[in-house]
Amino acid sequence: MSAATKPTALTYAAAGVDIDEKDSFTESLDTVLRRTHTPRVIPNPGGFAGLFRLDYKARLFRRNYKDPVLVACCDGVGTKVKLAAELGVFDTVGIDLVAMNVNDLIVQGAEPLFFLDYIATPAIDKRFLHDLVRGIAEGCRKSGCALLGGETAHMPDLYAKGDFDLAGFCVGVVELKRVQKPARVRAGDVILGLSSDGIHSNGYTLVRKVVQAAGLDLGRVYDELNAPDAPGKGRRARKPSEPRTLGQVLLTPTRLYADPIVRLMRSYSVKNVVTGMAHITGSGIEGNLCRALPGNLDAVVQRGSWPVPAVFPFLQKHGNIPDEEMFRVFNMGLGYCVIVKPTFADAVAEKLTKFGERVSVVGKVAKGTGKVRLV
């Protein structure tokens, strides 16, 4: 073969994947990750996996699990990443990623231990990636969860320019006798609702469709969105701190419930005061609260008993969305539910309020068939 016809030598970089850039980004994350580490994280420089002690010898950090059960979950952020990419804001969806996992994990009565992330991207854009990981680290820090590491997958053949995807993996621990089970719920138990911070991370395919169909401007400040939340019974509406654009409202991260719920469960280490919990995500209140119930009981939830963030009536109006569909897709202002024994309802609500939550009594448990009744 002549020199003129000799094929060009190919490299991974020429094919679109720059190993040096990826390695440089990975090495730059060490400081960000270490800010989330507790004394139970075992240093493992250059390791292929993170190391974490289930217990710790120092008395200050000892958990003394008698019959520990590991709890694990995996989740993503969904199509909210499309909105983040369009607006060029990435730290908030990093918090979303953590919240969607830890909020599921604590439903079982567990405390989060450590977190891993998976980022898939067509290009190694360090500013974008650092913003994203900073958000993930902030979510872990607020949840008392160590960010041990993760994977950045550089795949230009699979993702178009500007696209990316996220997945998160969380592991926690709970004492076996403290694992939450539907069998503990009894008729007469009180349902406490913890307010959401907005849409959280479910229903964004519909949200983006409303924005497109109604010709809404993500950069505009809409007066309707900056009005006080619609108040629930006996509750004062929350006023927004400052005017925000539609894009800023839609990118509000999922509320992290891990710290207040873990603190609540530790404060009742002997008594089983909490009989059930639910993270309100896709499928709304009806599709998630029912998962905390046994087959012979219903959750009777009173509509109008909690504050509804202004973003929900805004989307409903501009998308002409029926009530039933709104409650089936979105959390409608309730991000998390705690079912408690009636004699402890006031005390639990007071504790959660002290821990920074906005708490409403939203219903009771009654005889039924394992369903949620919105009345």
Q: Label residue 358 by pLDDT band (50, 70, 90).
A: very high
Query: Cβ contacts of residue 181 below 8 Å, gap of 6+?
Result: none
Residue 235: per-residue pLDDT: 47
Q: What digits encode the pLDDT tens for the residues 112-143?
A: 999 999 999 988 888 889 999 999 999 999 99
- pLDDT in the model for residue 234: 43
pLDDT of residue 237: 47
pLDDT for position 223: 92
Read off the pLDDT of residues 158-194 as tens digits, 9 standing for 90 and up.
Answer: 888 889 999 999 999 988 888 899 999 999 999 999 9
Residue 192 has, within 13 A of its CA and on its CB side, a CA count of 25
183 exposure class (CB count in 10 Å sphere: 0-12, 13-18, 19+): exposed
In CATH terms, the fold of domain 182-374 is Phosphoribosyl-aminoimidazole Synthetase; Chain A, domain 2 (3.90.650)
CB atoms within 10 A of CB 371: 14
Q: Which CATH architecture has domain 14-178?
A: 2-Layer Sandwich (3.30)
pLDDT band (50, 70, 90) for residue 51 = confident
Residue 300 has a pLDDT of 97
pLDDT digits over 297-342, tens only? 999 999 999 999 999 999 999 999 999 999 999 999 999 999 999 9
Spatial CB neighbours of 200, under 8 Å, sequence gap ≥ 6:
96, 99, 100, 253, 254, 255, 281, 331, 335
Segment 284-306 mean pLDDT: 95
Residue ranges of domains in the chain: 14-178, 182-374
Q: What is the pLDDT confidence band of residue 76, given thresholds at 50, 70 and 90?
A: very high
Q: Note whether 14-178 and 182-374 share their fold.
A: no
Rounded average pLDDT over 72-78? 93
Instruction: Enter the tokens of residue 343.
Output: 């004699």
3-state class of 340 per DSSP? strand
pLDDT tens, 218-260?
A: 999 999 998 776 665 544 445 556 789 999 999 999 999 999 9
Beta bridge partners of 169: 74, 116
Identify the pLDDT of residue 271: 83
- Name residue 195's beta-bridge partners: 334
pLDDT in tens, 86-121: 999 999 999 999 999 999 999 999 999 999 999 999
Asked if 64 and 239 touch (Cβ cutoff 8 Å), the reply is no
Write the CB contacts of 130 (distance below 8 Å, at least 6 apart in sequence). Answer: 25, 28, 29, 32
Give the global pTM.
0.86
Average pLDDT over every residue of 72-86: 94
Contact between residue 358 and residue 257 where contact means Cβ atoms under 8 Å apart: no
DSSP letters of 127-176?
HHHHHHHHHHHHHHHHTT-EEEEEEEEE-TTTS-TT--EEEEEEEEEEEG
Q: Report how far apart, in Å, the C-alpha atoms of 35 and of each of 55, 60, 166, 357 are.
A: 20, 19, 21, 25
* Per-residue CA distances from 374 to 40, 141, 203, 284, 292 (Å): 44, 36, 20, 11, 16
